[in-house]
Structure 1
Amino acid sequence: MFQNLNVFRTAITMARHAGAQQALSAQNIANADTPGYRGIDLPEFTEILRGRPSAMRATRAGHLNRASGAAPFDLAERRKAEDPNGNTVSLEAEMLTAVDAQRAHDRALAIYRSNLTLLRSSLGT
């Protein structure tokens, strides 16, 4: 029964995605006035979840199966409307993205805590 707890893996992946999105929003905001800077986006969490391999993978060289240091999520360059200086960052859109990332992270932690409580109750601890 407890060998395959996908809900925990999904919650952790959701929290990591939200953290990565928050970091990218911060990077985009920091470069909002940089001429020629292209904003960076992550795909939606549902797209990542659909394409996620079932096996574990290393994301840093220090991990046990020695990956080549690949990023855990595929990044996409934003090609939407750009300013006259070639910058594609919109501060308003980035603020909304950051708030969405915070909500997704909070949701992932709530799911994790809820299922951990359920697991502990079923074990009688």
Structure 2
Amino acid sequence: MFENLTVFQTSAAMARHAGQAQALISQNVANADTPGYVGHEMPPFAALYSPDETAGNQRATRAGHLNGSASAQEMAPVEMRGNENLNENTISLEAEMLKAADAKSHHDRALAIYKSALDVLRTAVSTR
């Protein structure tokens, strides 16, 4: 009955995605002064999850995707393209700060979804 609760799998995948995005942002910030550095960013989580397919199912883009066995290296980041700045690289610290705040927001949302689903599950199985 409770073996396949996709809300927990989806919220865990959202949290993992936000954590990986934050790691890439920190790499970009660390290399902001490196000439020729090309920044990387995670594709949006919505690109990995498509609700227009069969209701309740997630779209797997590769083997092991979103089922707990995906590692940080499997979710391939994409290179950032755009105009080079004065440091001759593609990093804008202002843009990276905004991305960091967005990643934190996504991580907080994933944890809130997980906690809410857990509360509903506890309520459903309680014997009060």
If the TM-score is normalised by the length of the shorter chain, which range does it land in? 0.7 to 0.9
Quote how far apart the aligned CAs of 1:57 are: 6.4
Whole-Å separation in 2 of the counterparts to 1:52 and 1:94 = 28
Runs of 4+ in structure 1 over 3 Å off: 53-60
Q: Distance in 1 between matches of 2:69 and 2:115?
A: 25
Which position in structure 2 is the counterpart of 1:117? Answer: 119
- Percent of aligned positions with the same letter in both sequences? 51
Deviation at 1:58, TM superposition (A): 3.2
- The number of equivalent residue pairs is 116
Q: Deviations over 1:77-125 (max 9, x none)?
A: 1111112543000000000000000000000000000000100110016
Match of 1:52 among 60, 65, 69: 60
What's the TM-score once normalised by structure 1's chain length?
Answer: 0.83
Relative to the length of structure 2, the TM-score reads: 0.81
Among 66, 76, 79, the alignment partner of 2:78 is 76
RMSD of aligned C-alpha atoms?
2.0
Q: Matched residue of 2:2: which SS?
A: coil
Structure 1 CA distance for aligned equivalents of residues 19 and 38 of structure 2: 20
The one-letter code matched in structure 2 to 1:101 is: A
The 8 Å contact of residues 85 and 92 in structure 2, kept in 1 or not, is answered as: no
Q: Deviations over 1:34-88 (max 9, x none)?
A: 000001011001001234358536346xxxxxxxxx7231211111111254300
- Counterpart AA for 1:34: T
Query: 5+ unaligned residues in a row in structure 1: which ranges?
Result: 61-69
